[in-house]
Amino acid sequence: MSYFNNTGSWWSRIPPVVKNLIMINIVMYIATVIFGNVMYEKLALFPFNSPLFRPYQIITHMFMHGGFWHIFFNMYTLFFFGCILENIWGGKKFLLFYLVTGIGAAFCHSGVLYLQEIHALRTAGEIAYTQILATPTVGASGAIYGLLLAYGMMFPNNQLQLIFPIPIALKAKWFVIIFGGIELVTGLTGMGGNVAHFAHLGGMLFGYFMIVYWKKKGKMYF
């Protein structure tokens, strides 16, 4: 059974919510290239207790990206998994899942940042604390990891072809476990640099609870 629409041009085959999400992200990326830091200052997500924080950033940061490869891999993954899931769930349920996992990721990331703020005040002083408050977070990765988790739960034995860093075929369930494990280890050890690992894990966590809830209520599909 195919979950892709195989009629018409490749663009017309993309379901509407995925298509519009990709278009919005591209438009926002182009605007960021043109207008620069003002976009990040207004639309990126800042810590909740930062003077730069605005409530709408919980949504807008999901459509901002830090560079070409950041948006490229997020949109590629959105296309790959999103088309399948939207065709199964329908547009409304897919959009709900996407937004809830993205927002859930933002709250998880913000909670971790708050703990880092407390640690910075106790160990590194006011300068380090101020730097955290002024650091923006951008990207759809929380929602993207939620989609990856959903695909892995719904099609655990489907083979996925991993291209980076090495070409290898893995069942979806192992793909999810490996990526989740990498995010947890790098997040706890700080090896991942400026990547918001706990936002990725937050997206997976909220996605897991949504899938479990829908399965329990018999509302997994349309």
Least confident of 10-14, 38-42, 104-108: 10-14
Q: What is the band of 4 on the pLDDT scale with cuts at 50, 70, 90? A: low
Quick one: pLDDT at residue 6? 59
Q: What is the band of 205 on the pLDDT scale with cuts at 50, 70, 90? A: very high
Q: Percentage of the chain surpassing pLDDT 90?
A: 67
Sign of CA dihedral 93, 14, 173, 201: negative
Alpha-carbon distance of 167 to 216, in angstroms, equals 36
Domain 16-217 of CATH type 3.40.50.720: no
Q: Which residue has the tokens 């519009």?
A: 20
Q: Is the pTM above the cut of 0.85?
A: yes
Q: 141 burial class (0-12, 13-18, 19+ CB within 10 angstroms)? A: buried
Identify whether 16 is preceded by a cis peptide bond (ω within 30 of 0).
no
User: DSSP string of 131-196?
Assistant: HHHT--B--SHHHHHHHHHHHHHHSTT-EEEE-SSS-EEEEHHHHHHHHHHHHHHHHHHTTTTT--
